[in-house]
Structure 1
Amino acid sequence: MSDLPDRRLNAYRPDLAEERLRGLVSADNYVVGTTCEVTVPVVQLRARPELECGTDTELLLGEIVHVFDTSAGWAWVKADSDGYVGYVPDYTIGPVIKSPTHIVTAPRTFVYVGPDLRFPTVQPLSMGSRITVVDERETRGTRYFLLDGGQAVIANHCALVDADMANDYVAVAERFLETPYLWGGRSGFGIDCSGLVQLSMAMAGRQAPRDTDMQAKGLGAPITRDELRRGDLVFWKGHVAIMENEHTLLHANGHTMNVSHEGLEESINRIGWLYNQPTGYRRP
């Protein structure tokens, strides 16, 4: 069993597997998958098609997935961005109709029924959501991007999908301060430690694996504690934090239940009694 590919990054079941695993795993059928996109602001991705199953990660509006199977109200998918595999309710995805033109860059924003901040909102969106802009309007000095159907978002909360990204991913992470901690969370509404690393890096044009163990093994290069500087990562078993400078770190954590600042020494002493000492340090 231990020789099987990581189920988080490889889609396989006894009855079905993704085509690229042919010859590596045994399954009754192999499929390439159908390309779809997420059609809701945030959806939880789970290891099993059960609402009682805990969240592995989250997918954001406009993100691309490959769908291998749909059954009993669930879709078995693989995220295009990081390769994560799991189940989402089938109503949360749909065919790709138009390519996204913009990405949300504010931690959180709203979609309005029209281009006016006094209008009712339709739904909230998280940083990282992808939208298709069809026009622009200005109301009382505020610029709006129009979506299909006349809905609108604040233009200053978005950027072109191919625009130059922020150079400092730590500055992006700092914008999530006091965002609630959420196991498996990966959005401005709730986020976990490795989700904060991944989403912040993505907004700086850098790819990162989703889970802490993946990041600890393959993100950047190992360094020593004495070498720590801004942007480096500190790992414990099941946890990761981002260094803001040589002495202070930033992390989504279950102690404060939000994204918070903490001194490096303070965090090592506090975490140590339960999770022991850091397992490693890396420079991504």
Structure 2
Amino acid sequence: MSDDLDHRTHAYRPDLADIRLRDRVAADRYSEGMPAEVIVPVADVRPKPDARCSLDTQALHGEAVSVFDISDGWAWVQLSADGYVGYVREEAIGQGAGPATHVVSVPRSFVYPGADLRFPHLKVLSMGSRVRVTGEAETRATPYALLEDGSAVIAAHLRPLGEVSAEDAVSVAARFLDTPYLWGGRSGFGIDCSGLVQLALAMTGKSAPRDSDQQAAGLGRAIDPGSDGLQRGDLVFWKGHVGFLEDPDTLLHASGGTMYVTREPLQAAIDRIAKLYGLPTIYRRP
């Protein structure tokens, strides 16, 4: 039995493991996991059931998870979209009434108690959040999508699931300019470098691993800047960091230097980052 599987994407502990790992890891018992979904705007995912732990990633409203254990107010889950494993607060997950129909396609959008933007909003959802639209309404010429609980979202802020955005991933990422940097963040309220890459690609119908080392290992294909050249949409990786190229000379990334999503000349970024983390380790084309 192995104990060297990546804990980020394999659900196993000494007392409990995903049943799909029965032949690969030893555990006291195995479980198929219970299907659930995120019912809060953003659920923080941590490596331990401890609010003092730093974030590993985040799950967005309406995203599906498998729940392997609930104890002391924490749920041990695996995210369906990218397989990430971790602990979320128990109140962040629940049972949905049916499959989501639409995804939020703008960086942030308000949810109102009814079809009127003058109502006090109930919550704010990030791009990538999933909702179930059950009807439509119009107030003062503004169309709204009605959700299953009677609340409403601006209809233009949603698109049907499965409908790929016409924008390329770089255009999506650029909509997050000036969004605060947040380690482990994956939403329009705060985002890190690999979260920006993952979310932007997801909105164009492409899946990507969560962390920068996972993306560097297998997202798209490796390229040689000398022989292949660089182009818009290419990814530049450093140890622990990644960013999009807007063009061969401009980097767009969630920067721990500025602490927000920023653009800067690629060579200036290379020179600045080299002082702390060295030169780029690989370039990839998704």
TM over 0.5: yes
SS of residue paired to 1:166: coil
SS in 2 for 1:86: strand
- Is residue 4–residue 25 contact of structure 1 (8 Å, CA) maintained in 2? no
CA distance in 2 between counterparts of 1:131 and 1:70 reads 25
1:242·1:249 contact (CA, 8 Å) conserved in 2? yes
Tell me what 1:13 maps to.
13
- Equivalent pairs counted in the alignment come to 284
Aligned mates of 1:197, 1:164 — CA distance in 2: 16
Q: CA deviation at 1:152?
A: 0.7
Aligned residue identity for 2:119: F
Aligned position for 1:266: 268
User: Does structure 2 conserve the Cα–Cα contact (< 8 Å) formed by 1:135 and 1:145?
Assistant: yes
Letter in 2 for 1:255: G
1:3 deviates by 5.5
Q: What amino acid maps onto 1:252 in structure 2?
A: A
Q: Secondary structure at the match of 2:197?
A: helix
Residues 225-278 of structure 1 show CA distances to partners (whole Å, capped at 9, x for unaligned) of 232110000000000010000100100011111000010100000111001111
Superposition pairs of residues 188-199 of structure 1, within 5 angstroms: 188-199=188-199
Residue 131 (structure 2) aligns with: 131
Deviation, 1:141, is 1.0
Contact 1:63 1:129 in 2 (8 A): yes
Does the 8 A contact of 1:35 with 1:96 survive in 2? no
Q: How far apart are residue 56 of structure 1 and its match?
A: 0.2
Per-residue CA deviations over 1:83-139 (Å, capped at 9, x if unaligned) read 000000111101132111110001001001111111110000000000011111111
- Is the contact between residue 3 and residue 25 of structure 2 (CA under 8 Å) also seen in structure 1? no
Distance change (3 Å), C-alpha of 1:72 and 1:3: closer
Provide the rounded CA distance (Å) in 2 between the counterparts of 1:75 and 1:105: 28
Farther off after superposition, 11-20 or 224-233? 224-233
What is the TM-score normalised by the length of structure 1? 0.98
Residue 2 of structure 1: CA displacement? 8.9
Structure 2 letter corresponding to 1:124: V
Query: Using the alignment, how far apart are the partners of 1:149 and 1:271 within structure 2?
Result: 48
Tell me which of 236, 239, 242 is aligned to 1:240: 242
Q: Does the C-alpha gap of structure 1 residues 77 and 197 become closer, same or farther in structure 2, counting only changes over 3 Å?
A: same
Write out per-residue CA displacement over residues 195-243 of structure 1, whole angstroms, 9 at most, x where no aligned residue. Answer: 0000000000000000000000010111112321100000000000100
User: Would the aligned equivalents of 2:2 and 2:24 in 1 still touch at CA under 8 Å?
Assistant: no
Which ranges of structure 1 fall in alignment gaps of 5 or more residues? none
Give the aligned CA root-mean-square deviation in angstroms.
1.2
8 Å CA contact 1:14–1:28 kept in 2: the answer is yes
CA distance in 2: counterparts of 1:70 and 1:170, whole angstroms: 38
Distance 1:234 1:187 in 2: 21
Instruction: Give the match's secondary structure for 1:271.
Output: helix
Q: In the alignment, which residue of structure 1 is the partner of 2:46?
A: 46
* Dislocated runs of 4+, deviation >6 Å: none
Given residue 199 of structure 1, which amino acid in structure 2 is its aligned partner? L
Larger mean CA deviation between 141-150 and 173-182 belongs to: 141-150
Residues 166 and 203 in structure 1, CA contact (< 8 A), matched pair in contact too: no
Distance (Å, rounded) in 1 between the aligned partners of 2:233 and 2:3: 34
TM-score between the two structures when normalised by the length of structure 2: 0.97
Match of 2:164, SS? coil
